[in-house]
Amino acid sequence: MEKTWNNKAWFMVLPVLLLVAFSAVIPLMTVVNYSVQDTFGNNVFFWAGTEWFEELLHSQRFYDALVRNLIFSAVILAIEVPLGIGIALAMPRKGWAVPVCLVTMALPLLIPWNVVGTIWQVFGRVDIGLLGHTLAAMGVNYNYVQDPFAAWITVVVMDVWHWTSLVVLLCYAGLVSIPEAFYQAARIDGASRWSVFRYIQLPKMHRVLLIAVLLRFMDSFMIYTEPFVVTGGGPGNTTTFMSIDLVKMAIGQFDLGPAAAMSLVYFLIVLLMCWVFYTVMTNYGQEKD
């Protein structure tokens, strides 16, 4: 018997799709328009063609910011994904402690990004901050305003504190969805704790891990508010990621053409990297299945 597909449900989400398309396409077309023109103000534009893209692709400033972004995202994923899985595995599955742990994990996610930056800006200060003052009392030379390594450590730890909870909650949702029968069969077979994780829990968490990796990569690669509030992109250009450099170019220098070209290249890089992550992890999951 041939199965009949009912696509009428698409009409329910059609208004949302149209609204999203409208709110996304118009700004994108505006950026495309600016990327091929030059302006000196007064709403007067001059055709520039691909000049800004060529200038961007020959700019060492762009490649330096791109490398900083890639290193930061790689470090964030290497820390937050294993840490999130470990915390999710340690969380209880039953009892009164479950809602307590879930609420505790969700608290950092409720804090606005600019507030997170302000918290860590004060927290890391040597004169009044708890972290900075404690490290100084212990003899540790910590100053995120002057030391590039300290600035990087501060930004990374801040992001881990803020966003690891997202990975934890996603992994926990994947763990609680595993039927108890799988664990019973593992106990009967005498499987070790590592075998249970490798052959039962990790494969069942594959889809939520895919979501977690994609979300954390996109957010870490486009990070702006937190490092801008804490370090302002410094010291020097140490924590000047592509988003910060883009804002400096567009607003600080009023180079709208180069900024528009950079934003389009930035968008394409994020899109390409997300597609690579999705393809690799999806194919890996199909091989496991």
Q: Dump pLDDT digits (tens) for 3-52.
A: 666 677 777 888 888 887 788 888 888 888 888 888 776 777 888 888 88
Residues pairing with 195 in the sheet: none
Mean per-residue pLDDT for 72-93? 93
Residues pairing with 37 in the sheet: 47
State yes or no: pLDDT of 91 exceeds 70.
Answer: yes
Alpha-carbon distance of 59 to 237, in angstroms, equals 15
* DSSP letter (8 states) at residue 212: H
| pLDDT score for 133 | 85
Q: Which residue has the tokens 């030379």?
A: 141
State yes or no: pLDDT of 134 exceeds 80.
Answer: yes
Mean per-residue pLDDT for 69-76? 94
Cα separation of the two ends of the chain: 28
What's this model's pTM, rounded to 2 decimal places?
0.87
**H or E element, residue 126:** none
Conformation bin of residue 41: beta by default, left when phi > 0, alpha when psi is -120 to 50: left
Domains and their CATH numbers in the chain: 60-288 (1.10.3720.10)
